[in-house]
Structure 1
Amino acid sequence: MELSSGFYGRSNPHMLSTSGGKAMGKLIEATHEPAGVEINMKPVLDIVEDIFERATPAAPGAIMQVDASESDERALHYSSLEQMMDVLSATINRISCEITYRLSIGEDAHSTTLAVAQIVKGYSWDAKIVLALAAFAMTYGEFLLVVQLYATNPLAKDVALLKQLPEILTRADLLKPKFDILANLINAMVVVAKCTVEFKGLPSKYIRPEDPELSSANADIPSAVYWTIRSTVICSSQIMGLINMGHEFLSSTTDAWELSSLTHNINSIYNDLVEKLNRCRQRINERKDIEAFETLVRLFDAIHIDNMKILKALIYAKDDQPPLWDGTTKQRVSIELLRRRSVLLLISDLEISEKELIILEQIYNESRVQPTRIESQYEVIWIPIVDRSTTFDDTKRKQFESLQAMMPWYSVGHPSMIQPAVMRYIKEVWGFNKKPLLVVLDPQGRVANPNAMPMMFIWGSMAFPFSKLREEALWKEETWRIELLADSIDPSIINWLTDRKFICLYGGEDMNWIRKFTTTAKAVAKTANIELEMLYVGKSNPRERVRRNMTNIELENLSHTLSDISLIWFFWVRLESMWHSRAQHGVTVRNDLIMQEILTMLGFDGSDQGWAVISRGADEMARAKAETFLKSLEEYTAWEAAAAEKGFIPALNDHFRSLRTEHHCNRLTLPGISVAEIGSIKDTVVCVDCGKPMEALLMFRCCTD
């Protein structure tokens, strides 16, 4: 029987339109009579996809090499399918025979498609597509086996002769373009099949048929089934055309438009389905994250015998690799090493400052010098918070690895180990918002302190176990003195205190004032016969001007400077930490001397002037802004007698008070305060000069110096 290249019928352009496609979907939907039997079609689809991949037409007679281990793995996979194929093979053979018969009698593709739909009417939507693809895969695979083996295998050669294939097999130049077009359509069908199988496998616990994302997809799947089955019919007709018409069919181009149109249509269906599948995945992930967040909340509310459940919930271990990176040994290690240990979670993004890390590293390393001390019984884990809405590209990877390399403590092996629900918990419950936190977990995994960073900066490891009770106890032991203000920033201060020397800390950026002040202070000290040591502590967020000042002060031998500019940053961040710590315990300027002095120092830093504070021993201290302090020193002769009688610092304080006027303008910058927090603290922040509540203003700053 002679077949024309158009025996399977041309596609009506209206059928390929959106409205036409939906109409075809309605026809398929009318045949759908599910029997209620659920079958996992993914293993069958894997076999079908494998057939299409292996059946790629090469040069006739070329032998395909198969890796032995891959062959063994597939044999194991196939053996697990035997029971399923006992159920499905009859249906697959019936579809193949139905398509072959109807095409052989010249029936059009549309009627043949509906006939196949009747055969699979009792199956689920994904099964309909996979079974139709499997039927075509048999036809396609059998044909390509002959193509690949006929030149070297006598049996294949005999079969090729009976099918009248030798003529077309000698024309590889015409065979390959034909199969390239066919392969595009096959690939499009396979990805649509994968989509429908994945829709079937979506967890009903997290997404329901009535959800808009899934209901929209379910409305389009019947149309996808129709066009995929129709495409298998068209592809089968192509193989039959090659067998029956040979060279004449190879040279024909009348079917190219048909195949290209179908491929375009199937690809459009896939693009639409995959977009809806992604929306379903997004909805599923959202619900999973909500469930994981609620589980985490319950977990922290529960009582545990150790910290393992909490740590494993916070750090997701994947690929069976140890989840932690040991910054000392530079190796992956198990989280079990931290069982029943106090653990400090250093939470930050990838923008954590190097200065902060240097100070924390110094404190951490000091605690490791004597590991048996009670103050050393804690570990630190870095928890990096990385926005998942942006790609973790090579730049971010290098940034993460660079920070990780600076840390002697533990860190997670990769930022992806911190799941979205954990990030939400860290932000909503612990209040993380860019500024690094140091969350303390006790040996049972309970939160002992939601942020021990201020304690760590103020007292270092002496604050162990970093609990609120320990914080209260440490403050009860403190008074406002030079040791609290500065003894941790320079080891020389301890020696000066021991020698009962006068200690002067000063700051600001005006180099001219610095020269006048230090020169005058030295002269007054010589006249008053006191031993005076001066130390420059610059300004918070020290930049190039402060760095230049430090260099000039050293070159001109004006006073001492700190060994590193990061210590200037640390001096000011300690003061800010003192304010945060005191404020958390309900202390205000009105009822606390230490809070008054902290805010005075922070106010000095917020002004455009320099400033200085001078102290001797535990209970003598005087401080003032640049002009007041310098003028008082220049007028030393006016209070020299009082200094001899009362002492240098009490007399200096008296002179400061004599120079005070009603007019004043104090500015105070409190870093780390959110807009939401301003309303709750503004009534507690009062001016240190007049005691009136200070006006709250919102400041944005970009300072490149």
Structure 2
Amino acid sequence: MALLRSGKPRKLRMPIIVPDEMVYGTISATDEKKLDVEYLLDLVENILLTATHDVQRGTPEQNTEFRRPDSSFKSPSNTIKQISIELVANTAQGDKVKVEKTAVTILNLLSSYSLDAKLALSLAALAMEIGEFWRLKKDLTDQSPLPKEFCLSMAILKFESTDIVDQKDDQQQKPIVELNNLIMLILEVTKSIFELEKLRTQYTSADVPGLLTTIRKHVYGTITSIVACAAQIAYFKSHEGQTQDLTKWIEYLASVHEDLEKHIRISEQQMDILKLLISTENDTHLLHINDGSTTAGVSIDVLSMKDVLLIISCLDISDIDIMNLQKIYEGIKGYKHYKMVWIPIVEEWTLAQLQLFMKLRDQMPWYVVQMVSTIAGIKFIKEEWHFNGNPIVVLLNQQGEVENPNALPLIRVSGMEAFPFTKMAEDAIPHLENWLHLVAKHIHPSMQSWMEEEKYIFFYGGTDQHWIKKFQSHIKNVDLGKFLKDGEKEGSTGIESVEIGTNEMGFWSIIESLYLIKVHQEEVKGGRGGDETLQILQKLLSNKIETNGWGILVKGSNVIIADQGSNISKALKKLVIKLQSEEENNFHEEKFETIFQEYHKQVADMFSHSCQINIPSAAANIIPKTMKCLECGQVMDTFISFRCTKSSTTNQQNSSANNFKIKPRGFYPCYPPYPPYPPYPPYPAYPRYPRYP
């Protein structure tokens, strides 16, 4: 009907002023008394459709669908009669109608019923009043088999007036049309409340913010509108011929209907997205849940009206990521509207992959998409969320909107401190500049205390074990005592050092996550990649897979030098030679880092550099168009490279469980120009041989 068309949102303002405290204090949701509200509404709809179509001597349309009554249904007739008494008693002739007072009385009468039952019973009482009113009106206006005197006598006793029978012009029919419009709106609003209440009770918890409050408020408003309809009928019965204007009530109910439909669309939108990502012919037991006490399959509908963390990965998800996600699962247990779901991305299953899937699933207490399910949304996940094989955690809100396309870096770095894992929470991380504190626990158990003591610390790594052994020997030969005055020489005078292995996934996952967060923050701020922390993280990630090692010298939480291993090692060797050649302590006027920085600069200037920055594949969608060399500032060439991570070992961390995994990396090499080749000497002249005759 025209009144239900969507347009400019209307304000939810009742024609009467009712404080929210009165609404929430009066209406309550209990389930002490059970009632088949769906069937009761069918009976009510049969009555209202007939009565409202009888306006201006009309008849119900041929395509009107009526519900077949079931005589076995036990009607709550006593309760309906009690409500009818309240409707009639508070709208008696000569009294000023107090709509809010009547509504409160009815709600108190129905305090033991559920929200939808309160509404269904109130509407049933109104249907009884309207049905009786219009039936007698029809008997007076149509050819009735009953004697006219009988019908008039009944009308006089019931209505006290028969003026309504003679109302034929448009002005006289207007109150009746308004009443019918309001009744149809009440019926539509009731259906929407039933649908939303079903979603709330079946798929969600009562703790969903705002949903229960919305339903309570609209149930109260609809019952108040029912009282207004009853008051209009009371005006029709009186001899005065006066009626109330129902326009404001119609506008209010139309706005309520729009608001309810919006909530329903939100729920359907979220479910549509989830069903696109996770589809199967029979989704009755689509999700697997292992809560420690039971292992069962459940429907995807349990995710309706929830904030959902979608864990999307291949079967090579690391144990460290699972451990981090387990902490998040424990942390959000108190938030009933948050759920976690793992969607394994496997295009072709094998027996080995099935066994690995079962092993991983047993480690996850949250929802897991069943292995037998068809993942129809792989293309969507790749194109919209840039999934390329690396694990991501997509945060969907209750409206089905993406709050964060990848919350995994945030979870790795800050854990539950970053809850609720939105982009706003990511931008609010205050300690990115002190990133060493974030990775300290993943480097060495004593790292945190060393940093607090402002010690010099070398942490280094690489794949060349020969270089690592030489580097370790250089560190042992550095005597910091030569940089201290006699009164300052207390305790150890050595440098602390920690080797970072290439397989220490905790360290590297934190570094990569910090890089992704930092890149996003720079993108938001419009930065050009000149941030010092970002450059250090880039160097670390670039040197992770290189044969040559890498090293970083820090003091406390400050990075002094970060460079490739050869430069660090050469500078350290020069310093060791200098220290060993000086018998007397003549360095106490200068700091160790100052001397080391000078030697490092000499080495860096002496040798040509080859700068290569490898962008993690998870950041492929935000690769900058150009990037300058971190050493000389020259704009570097851009390449795209592909690397297979499949290993011959059985280590899960280094193996790739999916065949389609591609890891694109932004590859920015910067090489010094080669000198021109010298010209080749001229070829000697060949002797001429005589021609044959």
TM-score (norm 2): 0.46
TM-score (norm 1): 0.46
Greater fraction of residues in helix: 1
